[in-house]
Amino acid sequence: MRSLPGSSLRVRAGFTLVEVLVALFVVAVGIAGAAALQALAVRSSRDAAHLAEGTRLARSLAERMRANPHALALPDADNPYLQLDYDAGSGAPTASGLCYADAACDADELARFDLYEVSEALAATLPGGRIRVCRDAGPPAWSCDAGDGAPLVVKVGWRAPGETATAAPKVMLPLAGAAR
């Protein structure tokens, strides 16, 4: 180290330990913030994928219902679509029969096959998923008011990590033209 002429102060080169510790703290806070942001991005991406899949399943069932006007025209008590309240946590859905292009199925059998395929897709793609079809004009809830003029609604929900039950449907798709 050198001394300045006429002074007892010395010029020091480099950083002090305190400056290095402050710099390391600032870098650590930045890395922690980036990690939290990455976790949020992953969670948001998963939630968006579940929402897209739930919407796809609701639309698929709605299209199947519209393609089976004979079953859809039955009174509510006899309509197989209105009997659907499937929770994937209760076990695998059961098929009553297979209705493919070469199988001869009536409207009721086709409706039950549609419900089986949609329930199976729900169980395979949405964790703790639930799907319900009912008449409802109320706010998002699993219960249905079944009031006069209430539209048919396809409700889909799933459990987020840490949830014990699907609190409320995350997708509610009313069927146009299906009101009583």
- Count up the domains in the chain and report the number: 1
- Whether residue 127 lies inside any domain: the answer is yes
Domain ranges, residue 51: 18-174
CA angle 78, 80, 86 (to 5 degrees): 135
To the nearest 10°, the Cα dihedral for 155, 160, 162, 168? -30
Residue 1 has pLDDT above 70, yes or no: no
Confidence band (pLDDT; 50, 70, 90) for 15?
A: confident
Residue 115 lies in a domain: yes
Is residue 161 situated within a structural domain? yes
- Given this model, what pLDDT does residue 12 score? 67
CB 87 within 8 Å of CB 130: yes
Written as one letter, the residue type at 63 is: E
φ and ψ of 47, to 5 deg: -65, -40
11 domain-assigned: no
Per the domain annotation, does 23 fall within a domain?
Answer: yes
For the stretch 95-127, pLDDT in tens is: 767 777 666 888 888 899 999 999 999 999 988
Structural domain contains residue 28: yes
What sign has the CA pseudo-torsion 70, 74, 76, 77? negative
Query: What are 32-90's pLDDT values in tens digits?
Result: 999 999 999 998 998 899 999 999 999 999 999 999 999 988 898 899 999 899 998 88
Any domain includes 63: yes
What's the mean pLDDT in 155-174? 84
pLDDT at site 178: 57
- pLDDT at position 6 is 58
Rounded alpha-carbon distances, angstroms, from residue 107 to 28, 67, 73, 132: 64, 10, 10, 20
